[in-house]
Each structure stands twice: as C-alpha cells, then as structure tokens.
Amino acid sequence: MKKYAGAKHRGCGRVIKCEKLDQQVWDRILKWLNQPDQLAAVADEMGKNQDYSIPFEEGEMGRLQKEKEKVQKGRQRLLRLFAEGIDISEEEIRQSIKEMKEKEERLTHQLEELKEFIKEKDQMEYSREWICEATAYYLTKGQDELTFQDKKELIRHVVREILVFEDRIEIHTF
C-alpha cells in the first residue's frame, strides 16, 4: 500500500498477494479499533520513538534564520569594504564570499529540513485526532455497516506505513 506521495524507497521486490495483505491489515485495524487503548498505546510508542519536541525545533529555526541573516549581512559588508577600497585582495574577497555562500546554502537546507519535520509533526497530531474520531465512528457504526470507502478512509488515517518481511508484516500508525 502506498500513500499518494509514493513510496520513499523502491523496496526489495518481495511479492505478496494483495488480498492476503489487505486482510492482514484490515484484521489489525479491527483489532486496534476494538481495543482503542491498544491503538493509543501503539501510537504513543511510535511517537516516543520519533522524539518530537516542537519547541526545540522552533527555537532552532529561529537560531538558524538569525545565523543565515548574519551571513547575508557579512557578505554585504565585505562587498562594501571592497568597493570602498579597503586593502583586501580580490582573491581573499572571492574566497570569503564563496565560503559565506556555502554556509548560507547549508543553513537554508537545514531550515527546509526543520520546516518539513514540523510539518510532519503537525500531520501526525492531526492523524492522532483522526484516529480517535475514526474509532468513535467505527464503534457507533459497527463493522458490518462499514462501506468499502469507510474502510479505505480508516486505513489511510490510521496506517502510516506497512513493512512486509518474509515471515511477517509490520503496520505502523501515526
């Protein structure tokens, strides 16, 4: 099973019948939905393994942004000094600008990674709320009354990733 964005990794080429995998996934979902405490415990355990702490990341984003701004200002100052005729060789200026540009690119990349991390965390929080709503919906409707579309939506919001091994499958929730 893939999310809309596609698989992060191509995989190993192992083949499993879709019906068999679907049944195993649905059985696990039913088990979780019938025992919401177990689902919450699984989700909490996976959340602990991710070690998310948004306040730290937000502080880190601020620090990286300030450092990036300092590098940009330093580059501008260096160019002004050169334009004013300060006794610095053209080669020294080029080397310094090159180093500052590389540092700015690294900082930009780190900022993008942090933004993506926070976005994933926000999605995970949304998904946990949706898991609670899905459980309540399932419990009020009952397994026999769920349509194919209902089942598909439940799986999409409860399952983050399915790993298939030779002897087992692992289903990871948000």
DSSP string, 101-167: HHHHHHHHHHHHHHHHHHHHHHHHHHHHHHHHHHHHHHHHH-GGG--HHHHHHHHHHHEEEEEE-SS
Token pair of 120, please?
């994933």
Name the token pair of 95.
């080397």
- What is the mean pLDDT of the segment spanning 117-138? 69
Q: Is residue 56 part of a domain?
A: yes
Domain span at 45: 18-173
How many structural domains is the chain composed of?
A: 1
Name the 3-class secondary structure at 142.
coil
Q: Would you state the structure tokens that stand for residue 41, as one six-digit string?
A: 């415990």
2 located within any domain: no
For residue 154, is it within any domain?
yes
Residue 77 falls inside a structural domain? yes
For 28-86, the pLDDT digits (tens) are 888 877 776 666 666 556 555 554 444 667 788 888 899 999 999 998 888 888 888 87
